[in-house]
Amino acid sequence: MVVFLNDKPYEVAEGTTLAAFIESLGLKHEGMAVAFDYEAIPKSMWSEVVLFDRMELLFVQAMSGG
């Protein structure tokens, strides 16, 4: 099945959780947020959220600096 992260398609296995997906991409968890339908998904729920076909996610990484 295909999910979209920031409009980029990714092939994932059925039953993949958000936590497993993020880990498979090698993304750092610090300072990041993931949203679905414009609502942030709490990190405490990432292992419970099961991705579905054509799901569109938004990834935001906080950056420091000025």
Q: Tell me which residue of 23, 45, 24 sits closest to 36, measured CA to CA.
A: 45
In angstroms, the CA 63 to CA 52 distance is 29
Does the pLDDT at position 4 exceed 90?
yes
pLDDT digits over 13-55, tens only? Answer: 999 999 999 999 998 778 889 999 989 999 999 999 999 999 9
At 14 the pLDDT is: 97
Work out how many domains the chain is built from and give that number. Answer: 1
- Direct distance between the N- and C-terminal alpha carbons of the chain, in angstroms, rounded to an integer: 40
At 35 the pLDDT is: 96
Residue 66 covered by a domain: no
The pLDDT confidence band at residue 66, using thresholds 50, 70 and 90, is low
Residue 20 covered by a domain: yes
Q: Looking at the whole model, is its pTM more than 0.85?
A: yes
**Domain span holding position 33:** 2-61
Is residue 57 within 8 Å of residue 5, measured between CB atoms?
yes
